[in-house]
Structure 1
Amino acid sequence: MKNTSSLLPNESKSLWLAKESTPTFSSLEEDLNVDVVIVGGGITGINTAYLLSQENLSIALIDSGKLCSGTTGHTTAKLTAQHGLIYNDLINSFSEKEARLYYEAQSDAMSTYERLIKEMNIDCDLEKKDAYIFSDTGENADKIVEESQAYEKLNIKGQLVNELPFNLSVENALIMENQAQFHPLKYLNHLIREISDQGVKIFEDTTAVKIDTDSPRPIVHTRNKQRITAAKVIIASHFPFYEGIGLYSAKMHAERSYVIAAKSKLNKIDGMHLGIDSATRSVRLTKYNGEDILLIGGESHKAGKETETMKRYKLLEKFGKEVFGIEEILFRWSTQDLVTVDKLPYIGPLTSNTNDVLVATGFRKWGMTNSLVAAKVMKNTITGDVNPYEGLFTPARWKDHPRVREFAMEAGSMATEFIKGKLDHPRDHISGLEPDQGIHVEIDGQRKGAYKDTNGEVFIVDTTCTHAGCEVNWNEAERTWDCPCHGSRFTYKGEVFEGPAEKPLKTHDYKALDNLTSDESGY
């Protein structure tokens, strides 16, 4: 297949982050005392900070890295209540009432976005679009019919069709009308400036590591030993950095998915599209430098369980060439999302015995609307106002849910990954390590990870994840070590790239071993 990419080999770069300069902030250097501290500077944390800034509260917002640089900056940015095959499943797992509540929560979030964007005159490329789910192989054609029937039960405006507004044959497709798409960074950059002007204290490169809940007011401790005392703590850090007794590590799994942004010969498509067969495909248009650019996403898999990740991009490229005649790939990126056992996010008090620490996580790839749902639920919890959706998303719900068996299966899967990693004995030797390659090697009978950069420098890390002790695997597309148990990710230098891990991987000085042969050093 002819290479159509203008990117460097293995280069990952998000279109949303390419031209938008997010405001920067210094790290926290002193103790703070505020009404609310929000941990996590993505779309959930920023939306929440904005809503709370209207309530005359003192607020601090901290992020372990840079604002919007995580999942928020690597989305496909659809504002829709059509979240794949969800409503028939919710009816069967919960009830029609609760399935309808989920739809209303998402629709309310979309209306709130439109209102805020209009009131603040935010230029963020907001466009109304119909959303489609489709089955092109026929694998899930019957499920689309069932989902259409669920729409009818729930009074959701939709339409079952057998064609798409572009050249791809499908068995069935289901339209949800009057949805939307936007540029998330343009929206968030405006909100960041707004909350800063409103007095929200914002700190980047400030990592929260634990919460002391034994004090009269919770205290967030940072890696650099600062303390933030607050009446309320909101954990909006994607994966909860602090779990209490919530067992979130076992109640969710992390999934990675991939996106390419490309110029195409056939840009005359309309709407936002999601193929829900095994080879998932997400398709929409956006603007870049004044012209239409095609976004093609999909190829999901559980985090840490795929090492040949570049092939995922190649499969998206192949699909794009066959269906849309793509000519040049301008950007490609991957993202990580958390999926709960019952498909609903966890939003609300971290544990059932306190309202002082709140959490928002498990958005199942639909974080644009769910982030605002979460912001409104958590704001109402803090202000004491009733929110109609708080019971639906409460993190305490799993105890009584019929899918508790799936919780046990998820925990069992993680235990299997733990054991599998410990029993795996790598046979690769450092002598065979190529530039820009990562492999597992063995040092003195122990599993390690080695990466050689394009200048020939070798970086060696322990492959035991610092979160729960599972063994990490190499991700060639992102040059990271990824954990298959809970989704923690580390750079090839061992630094934490994505939580829940808080501590880096232990590193080894390869130069100290440079004068040894592979047999003598154990490689």
Structure 2
Amino acid sequence: MSSKSIWQVDTAFKEFPKLQETKQTEVCIVGAGLTGITAAYLLSKKGMKVILLEADQVLSGVTGHTTAKVTAQHGMIYAELIETIGKEKAKQYYQAMQEAMHFIKNEITENRIDCNYEEQDAFLYTNDDAYLSQLEKEAEAYKALDIPGELITEMPLQIPSKQALKMKGQAQFHPLKYLQFMLEEAVKNGTEVYEQTVAMTLEYNRRSTVITKDEHRVTCDYLIAATQFPYIDHQGLYFAKMYAEQSYIVSGKWTGDYPGGMYINVENPTRSIRTAKLNNKDTYLLVGGENHRSGVSLDEKLCYENLKEFAKEQFDIDDISYQWSAQDFTTLDKMPYIGPITKGDPSIFVATGYRKWGMTNGTIAAKIIADTITENNENPYKELFSPARFSSKPMLKNLFSFNMEVATELIKGKLDFPASRDIDELEVGEAAITTVKGGRVGVYKDKEDKLHVLDTTCTHLGCEVNWNSADRTWDCPCHGSRYHYDGEVMAGPAKEPLRKVSLDD
């Protein structure tokens, strides 16, 4: 079974070179996902010189692993936003998502992008009596904010539910086909793209200089950190203001007529449902969910099995062709951080904390940053999403709870003394946490029978990583860093690989 997403299987991208020299440009963008590519597209259309750096391959990260719902229905959010930041700002949030949706639709229509764009209604539903009052409260928030929606007792898709909240006129699409067009246009406009180029550090004088892992330099007037977690913190303390969550998706062929709609429940475990076309022909059902804090010690394979069981029970789909996972970050007040990394750095931008709603959040992020650079700060949503904002009601509470969990995981990891195990007995593809020379290590046996032995101490702030059996990665439960089974960094905030441990005396 493919571990690539249905989008990645269905899209072939041009390969781009690795950066091999020092460069100068007006704008350097780190991260070739939806935000980075959209920003490059917008800025290059304005005639700006742009360099786009990607640590792996373009669209190999979160954007390539999304469910790609183009919607302003971001779970149970609007009643909470009214309570925590007020009605005016909650309405601004909805309007920002609407603007992002209109931008995507207009680009697709005007440029005739073949990306399976379909308008669909979105449904928040529950089959649990305990959540009915919360769903009704969310419906009241819709009315207060003039959001088109209605409470219903029967959905088009016949699955167990007691009540649902419908948001009309949302959409879904093939994200990589959409972004393939934008990337090609950005390149035509002069954007330089470099893959396999890892941005490591930043020097800042009058201009910013990005220094890569191979010690090449890109000097720029403006820097956009469009990575899932900002590759630079620059005193922004983003690791303390967000937490990482892992989620999973399975996909199998749908036979018969699909009644339409995109669906997500409000209780746990999460179940997210939509369809997608593969090769513009076959219809596939996507079932997502099983969210959990990244890096916690559990059997991730069971998450996939639970989703497969749901697809079988509810839709009689037992042939699952694709499965993949995604990680995303949630901020203190559940709204993304978009804008200057700190108040003192107006030329360095971040865009992060999309809470799994990256199609609209990522698009509005690109627009806000591009407008700030080219339109003299003229964007109505700049202050709403500013990383410098502070709303004491939700933020203080969550700052404390987030970091209490980090402290708990840190202590738990340091008090974990795993039993010694004969690592020669490991099967191919199996990993274990054991003790070697008195230290906690992680061991993985690859398909060539080679053992990869690593110190399990995360190189970010010293928490102990755990093995993710589904993705074959080492994941940190504190701040969401992820490492390949050989210890190389896959996702930050960590920058350095896990330390290799020798088994020799």
C-alpha contact 1:428 1:439 (8 A) present in aligned 2: no
Per the alignment, residue 43 of structure 2 pairs with 52
In 1, Cα distance between the equivalents of 2:19 and 2:450? 33
Letter in 2 for 1:492: Y
Per the alignment, residue 234 of structure 2 pairs with 244
C-alpha contact 2:54 2:198 (8 A) present in aligned 1: yes
Letter in 1 for 2:247: S
Instruction: Give the alignment of 1:84-483 within 5 angstroms.
Output: 84-213=75-204, 215-265=205-255, 267-289=257-279, 290-383=281-374, 384-398=376-390, 400-429=392-421, 430-483=423-476
User: For residues 420-460 of structure 1, what are the alpha-carbon distances to aligned partners after superposition, in whole Å with 9 as ceiling and x for unaligned?
Assistant: 11110111411442221111011111000001124422111
In 2, Cα distance between the equivalents of 1:334 and 1:463? 22
SS in 1 for 2:388: helix
C-alpha contact 1:488 1:500 (8 A) present in aligned 2: yes
C-alpha contact 1:23 1:189 (8 A) present in aligned 2: no
Moved over 6 A (4+): none
Aligned pair 1:504/2:494, yes or no? no
SS in 2 for 1:202: strand
The Cα shift of 1:487 comes to: 0.8
The Cα shift of 1:130 comes to: 0.2
Letter in 2 for 1:494: G
In 2, Cα distance between the equivalents of 1:499 and 1:122? 33
User: For residues 147-167 of structure 1, what are the alpha-carbon distances to aligned partners after superposition, in whole Å with 9 as ceiling and x for unaligned?
Assistant: 000000000000101122122
C-alpha contact 1:12 1:477 (8 A) present in aligned 2: no
Instruction: Give the alignment of 1:51-90 within 5 angstroms.
Output: 51-90=42-81
In 2, Cα distance between the equivalents of 1:155 and 1:451? 54
The Cα shift of 1:138 comes to: 2.9
C-alpha contact 2:157 2:261 (8 A) present in aligned 1: no
In 2, Cα distance between the equivalents of 1:331 and 1:399? 41
Q: TM-score, normalised by structure 1?
A: 0.94
Letter in 1 for 2:274: R
The Cα shift of 1:385 comes to: 3.8
SS in 2 for 1:262: strand
In 2, Cα distance between the equivalents of 1:368 and 1:467? 29
The Cα shift of 1:350 comes to: 0.2
In 1, Cα distance between the equivalents of 2:248 and 2:117? 23
SS in 2 for 1:268: coil
In 2, Cα distance between the equivalents of 1:348 and 1:79? 22
In 2, Cα distance between the equivalents of 1:268 and 1:428? 53
Q: TM-score, normalised by structure 2?
A: 0.97
Percent identical residues? 43
User: For residues 451-480 of structure 1, what are the alpha-carbon distances to aligned partners after superposition, in whole Å with 9 as ceiling and x for unaligned?
Assistant: 112442211111111111111100000010
User: For residues 469-520 of structure 1, what are the alpha-carbon distances to aligned partners after superposition, in whole Å with 9 as ceiling and x for unaligned?
Assistant: 111100000010001111111111111111221111112345xx4xxxxxxx
Per the alignment, residue 485 of structure 2 pairs with 492
Single out whichever of 158-167 and 120-129 deviates more from structure 2: 158-167
Letter in 1 for 2:8: L
C-alpha contact 2:455 2:498 (8 A) present in aligned 1: yes
In 2, Cα distance between the equivalents of 1:13 and 1:217? 39
Letter in 1 for 2:111: M
The Cα shift of 1:401 comes to: 5.0
C-alpha contact 1:266 1:325 (8 A) present in aligned 2: no
C-alpha contact 1:350 1:395 (8 A) present in aligned 2: yes
Single out whichever of 492-501 and 341-350 deviates more from structure 2: 492-501
In 1, Cα distance between the equivalents of 2:502 and 2:186? 44
Letter in 2 for 1:434: E
C-alpha contact 1:136 1:168 (8 A) present in aligned 2: no
Structure 2 runs not aligned, ≥5 long:
none
C-alpha contact 1:282 1:297 (8 A) present in aligned 2: yes
Per the alignment, residue 516 of structure 1 pairs with none
C-alpha contact 1:495 1:505 (8 A) present in aligned 2: yes
In 1, Cα distance between the equivalents of 2:16 and 2:254? 38
Per the alignment, residue 517 of structure 1 pairs with none
1:153–1:363 Cα change, 3 Å: same
In 1, Cα distance between the equivalents of 2:420 and 2:181? 50
In 2, Cα distance between the equivalents of 1:443 and 1:367? 42
In 1, Cα distance between the equivalents of 2:316 and 2:176? 28
In 2, Cα distance between the equivalents of 1:318 and 1:225? 48
C-alpha contact 1:267 1:292 (8 A) present in aligned 2: no
The Cα shift of 1:402 comes to: 4.2
SS in 2 for 1:397: coil
C-alpha contact 1:481 1:492 (8 A) present in aligned 2: yes
In 2, Cα distance between the equivalents of 1:209 and 1:335? 23
In 2, Cα distance between the equivalents of 1:70 and 1:184? 12
C-alpha contact 2:66 2:326 (8 A) present in aligned 1: yes
SS in 1 for 2:169: strand
Single out whichever of 161-170 and 386-395 deviates more from structure 2: 161-170
Single out whichever of 132-141 and 366-375 deviates more from structure 2: 132-141
1:402–1:302 Cα change, 3 Å: closer
1:302–1:446 Cα change, 3 Å: same
SS in 2 for 1:391: coil
Cα root mean square deviation, aligned: 1.4
